[in-house]
Amino acid sequence: MPGMSILSLLSLALLAGRSVAVGVSGTPEGFAASTTGGGSATPQYPADIAELKTWLTDSTARVIVLNKEYNFIGSEGSVTETGCRPASNKCPGDGGQDAINHADWCTNGNAGTGATSISVTYDKAGVSSIDVGSNKSIIGIGSSGVIRGKGLRIANGAKNVIIQNIHITELNPQYIWGGDAITIAGADLVWIDHVKISLIGRQFVVLGTTASNRVSITNNEFDGSTSWSATCDNHHYWALYFTGSNDLVTLKGNYIHHTSGRSPKVGGNSVIHAVNNYWYANSGHAFDVASGGYVVAEGNVFQNVVSPLLSGSAGSVFSSPDTTTNKACSTYLGHVCQLNAFGSSGTLTGSVTSFFSDFSGKTVATAAANTGVASSVKGNAGVGKV
């Protein structure tokens, strides 16, 4: 080409090679198995947070590649207003989580008797998520794809979205209602894979009250380690919140550690297939299954988990209790359910099978024996491992 140097031509060639080489790794498993995201769209690398936000929110099918950190902290300014110190925050040295008065949470009684008003200052970007459009793949390169200070929201009819190999972190972790990392509400076909989430004010993943239909959450690291613990022990309480409406959620191969509750909370007529996950160092409860929640838990490992199931949970649980009872899974799940394993942990009980027909005609994740799950999940889950 006239006027172009050899160096310029080499640079173009390298860029072209980079575009061809990157893409989604593997295929989704479980209920959202047919998710394709941005499909064969040419991979694009957003230059900055403004371009990232534009590409995520538009109506064009895209493969969006993150090869650096996109830092939203400070991009929308900060807010100082009246919040509260919940009655539950009795942590010494201001070490607990105070609260933003979202939806009047501080003033409508939810903060508990004895809650006190305090001034809170928080980053505005963290409390509002980016609305992701349909037909998107958001993927990271190595461990370099980071979104700091902002969450993602797939809602209001958005569908066919893949989020893979990125790290979402630092959403006002010192405050309850400081931000949710990934919100799904009124969506369909969402695959969250090899994502790491840490230092979040509220939920790692929240499925809202409107139906989200088919969701697969696989091979992620949900890191609850925090200096602002609602339970005063450096463990995050608000973790995974699955109370949508008739949602189907596959939860497989995830490393869920240093939490103290809601890992996950289940309700809203949602069906959760929890298979081959590794729960570690939970100082409170893992599952909280409310009335209208349905859980099949198989092949999981619970290590140092005080209560794998919250006492008094009113929902329906099949805990894969023994090899004979587990044969009931064959008709609707396509395999005999696998036993769970427990080390220095409480128990997970339940043998309800009346909801198994909800698996009929669905794509159901396979299950392996619990042997080796802890090491394989810890070695495979999270960012930089695809």
> Which residues are annotated as catalytic?
262
Strand 130-131 to 188-193 pairing: unpaired
Residue written as token pair 């960012």: 383
Rounded distance, CA 100 to CA 315, Å? 30
What residues contact residue 142 under an 8 Å CB cut-off, 6+ apart? 67, 384
Rounded distance, CA 37 to CA 20, Å? 17
Rounded distance, CA 268 to CA 245, Å? 5
Rounded distance, CA 349 to CA 297, Å? 10
Helix ranges (DSSP H) in the chain: 6-21, 49-57, 330-333, 373-380
CA distances from 168 to 61, 64, 149, 195, 369 (A): 22, 15, 8, 8, 31
Rounded distance, CA 254 to CA 271, Å? 17
What residues contact residue 261 under an 8 Å CB cut-off, 6+ apart? 231, 237, 238, 239, 284, 285, 288, 310
Alpha carbon distance, N-terminus to C-terminus of the chain: 38
What backbone phi and psi angles, to 5 degrees, belong to 254? Answer: -95, 150
